[in-house]
Amino acid sequence: MGLKDKEPQTVEIKGNVLKCHVCGNGYFWNRKAQLNTAAMSFLNLDWANKSAICFICSECTYIHWFLG
């Protein structure tokens, strides 16, 4: 999948260690993503910035999205 170019890292959100919602793993790859503006409008999220951060679980590859 081309994701294994970096070592996965632990992630802290607001003082809490992020654990994968699916498998409970604590290591993630970090990606910045450009969001589709049309999709954002459709979801009524125009207030959000056009970029988001996603953390991809190194075990099951579930993607955890954060805006801004």
- Chain positions contacting Zn ion, by CB under 5 A: 20, 22-23, 25, 57, 59-60, 62
3-state secondary structure at position 40 = helix
Least CB distance from residue 59 to Zn ion, whole Å? 4
- In the complex with Zn ion, the residue whose CB is nearer, 45 or 59, is 59
Q: Copy the structure tokens of residue 30.
A: 């970090």
Q: Cα–Cα distance between 35 and 61 in angstroms, integer?
A: 19
- In the complex with Zn ion, the residue whose CB is nearer, 11 or 57, is 57
Radius of gyration of the chain (CA): 13
- In the complex with Zn ion, the residue whose CB is nearer, 22 or 33, is 22
